């Protein structure tokens, strides 16, 4: 059976962190729209220049741009055996668009309190080269600001600044949280408790998907 997974949940819920583990476990591609946008910003491509101020302010990129980007990935080979879409869809319009070109098998919803989210985002440090998510307290790199995995520079995302985090949480509640009801109505929603350490969450995930 192909696992066509979407990861839903507030910013900082641990979607990207778990996606890396699930990707290795199931040998399926991990597509993070946030990572794609950040790479475009770093490379200063036309897409990057267009979305930088939107992302830094904690707002959503428009649906047309985001859907077109994801569609490009589905036009490439490698998606037939399954996938993890991390951070997409984020609006009902994006979910409707996705349904026209792929069939989701599980909408995995990361259930977590705002206080934990704020703790995770407050300490997040990201590698500019490989994109790995470190955490200043829970999982720091051995040498400050240097990625253990690839030697890249480790930095704090602009949208992890307190004002942007508040905006992202608000946008999540207004535009993305309604997707849980959307996928529940289709019988596809899988709630997982996203508190605790990564191993515990992976165990919840495997149990929920009968893996
Ligand atoms: P995106 O990059 O998708 O951001 P997000 O959804 O806000 O998610 P995050 O990356 O903040 O958090 P996460 O849940 O992946 O948590 P993580 O694993 O890093 O999107 C960024 C922006 O791009 C959006 O705001 C928007 O502007 C734009 N965008 C993207 N997709 C879009 C779309 N579809 N439509 C429109 N716009 C779009 O973990 C967080 C921290 O906690 C890390 O430091 C990690 O090390 C730590 N941590 C994780 N799990 C644990 C654990 N179990 N215990 C302790 N620490 C943990």
168 Cβ below 6 A of ligand 1: yes
* Residue-range domain boundaries for the chain: 3-113+170-208
Q: Quick check: is 157 catalytic?
A: yes
pLDDT of residue 1: 78
How far is ligand 1, taken at its centre, from the CA of residue 89, in Å? 13
Q: Is the CB of 37 under 6 A from ligand 1?
A: yes
10-residue block means of pLDDT along the chain (211 residues)?
95 95 95 94 94 95 97 85 96 98 97 92 92 92 95 93 92 97 98 95 96 94
Q: What pLDDT, on a 0 to 100 scale, did the predictor assign at position 109? A: 98
Cα 29 to middle of ligand 1, angstroms? 17
In words, the CATH class of domain 3-113+170-208 is alpha beta
Closest CA to 56 of 34, 30, 33, 87: 34
Q: Using a 6 Å cutoff on CB, does residue 131 contact ligand 1?
A: no
Work out which ligand 1 atom sits closest to the CA atom of 90: 34
Residue 109 belongs to what H/E stretch? strand 106-111
Q: What pLDDT sits at residue 104?
A: 97
Cα dist from 170 to 112, 114, 185, 193, whole Å: 15, 11, 24, 21
Query: Which residue in 38, 120, 124, 125 is the catalytic one?
Result: 124
- pLDDT of the residue at 91: 98
Mean pLDDT of the chain: 94
The catalytically annotated residue of 23, 38, 90, 120 is: 90
Pairing status of strand 82-86 against strand 3-8: parallel
């Amino acid at each position: 059976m192909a696992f066509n997974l979407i990861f839903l949940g507030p910013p900082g819920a641990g979607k990207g962190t778990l996606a890396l583990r699930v990707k290795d476990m199931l040998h399926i591609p991990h597509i993070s729209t946030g990572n794609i946008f950040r790479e475009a910003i770093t490379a200063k491509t036309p897409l990057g220049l267009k979305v930088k101020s939107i992302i830094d302010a904690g707002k959503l990129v428009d649906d047309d741009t985001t859907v077109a980007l994801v569609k490009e990935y589905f036009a490439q080979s490698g998606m037939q055996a399954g996938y993890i879409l991390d951070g997409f869809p984020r609006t009902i319009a994006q979910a409707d668009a996705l349904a026209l070109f792929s069939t989701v098998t599980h909408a995995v919803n990361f259930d977590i309190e705002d206080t934990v989210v704020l703790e995770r985002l407050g300490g997040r440090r990201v590698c500019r080269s490989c994109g790995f998510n470190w955490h200043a307290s829970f999982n720091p790199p051995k040498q400050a600001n240097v990625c253990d995995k690839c030697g890249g520079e480790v930095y704090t995302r602009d949208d992890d600044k307190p004002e942007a985090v508040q905006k992202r949480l608000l946008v999540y509640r207004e535009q993305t949280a309604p997707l849980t009801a959307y996928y529940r109505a289709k019988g596809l929603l899988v709630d997982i408790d996203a508190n605790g350490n990564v191993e515990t969450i992976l165990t919840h995930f495997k149990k929920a998907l009968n893996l």
